[in-house]
Amino acid sequence: MKYTSTAFLPLLLASALLYSCSSNPYASTNRAHKKQLKTYAKQLRTVPAIEPETSSLQLGDQWVGTTNFSMRRPNFVVIHHTAQNSTDHTLKTFTMPKTQVSAHYVIGRDGKVYHMLNDNLRAWHGGNSRWGNNTDLNSSSIGIELDNNGAEPFEEAQIKSLLDVLAMLKETYNIPAENFIGHSDIAPVRKVDPNETFPWKRLAAHGFGLWYDEGVVAQFLQPAAPITVLDSTASQPVLILQPLDSVSTIPPHFNPKEALRIIGYDTRDLPAAIRAFKLHFIQDEVNMVLTEKDKIILYNLYQKYL
């Protein structure tokens, strides 16, 4: 299904009618939102953007505007939990200038979706963050906040709505599967959201994020298998163990820190990066230590991200 403006027109009209017929507690902040949009629109219409009279640059003889440009195209989706008490609590937080935080979408426990900012504009959700060489995720991502106090499972209606939103965003902006990530992934020292109950494996099954190959990991963990051979000097078959070198193992040169960096994690604080990795992909015993199983999972994912 193509997500086009035409497809959503009836919904938008119905929403507009609903809002016009009811009292909106955010009417004043909506007016402030529109006023700010007009200010930015005025800046965009200012041509040329550099004033010849005040600039120290050696400018050309006339202003020439290119015909080849477009709006920004978000290339990442960053998922958060709100760590607040309700959807209303979060909506109020995101409409108070003093908080200096926002997101493009807020999804309530009941599955209701609040699209708070145009996807082409920059929300303030990532903060001081890093993913690979990208040090300004706010400028290249869409932020989605899930109403959750940080210590509870996510509601089914909420996850279903999230999957619908992600499908729309992936199709609209052609966002790569590996670029659907969590706040803790991009800010491992500061953040632990979404919490360890978040269904990353389910999202990956729908094409939003990567997941490890459980069958491959199980093969690595499989102990040496016994095989039956007949000892010619014995009257009964004798069991011997399969040689260890025939069991799958991680290459001796494998470097977990380098693997985390290749995936995208900021490894300047390695323990924090390990915890963020385990919060996303392991989701039990979330700590700063890599077990042997964790290393096998990391190795499998590292190969996917190469």
Catalytic residue selected from 145, 171, 178, 214: 145
Residue type, 107: I
Instruction: Calculate the alpha carbon distances from 284 to 174, 195, 281, 288 in Å.
Output: 32, 11, 9, 12
Which residues does 286 contact at the CB level (< 8 Å), separation at least 6? 196, 275, 278, 279
Secondary structure (3-state) at 81 = strand
Distance CA 165, CA 155 (A): 15
**Whole-Å CA distances, 217 to 213, 221, 252, 263, 296:** 6, 6, 17, 18, 6
Backbone region of residue 291 per phi and psi (left: phi > 0; alpha: psi in -120 to 50; beta: other values) = beta
258 belongs to the catalytic site:
no
What distance in Å separates the CA atoms of residue 185 and residue 280, rounded to the nearest whole number? 8
Distant-in-sequence, close-in-space partners of 113: CB < 8 Å, separation ≥ 6: 105, 106, 107, 161, 164, 165
How many helices (H) and strands (E) would you count in the chain?
Answer: 10, 7
**Neighbouring residues of 33: CB distance < 8 A, sequence distance ≥ 6:** none
Q: What is the β-pairing status of strands 113-115 and 105-107?
A: antiparallel
Determine contact, residues 207/284, Cβ cutoff 8 Å. Answer: no
- Residue 209, both tokens: 């994020």
List residues with catalytic annotation: 145
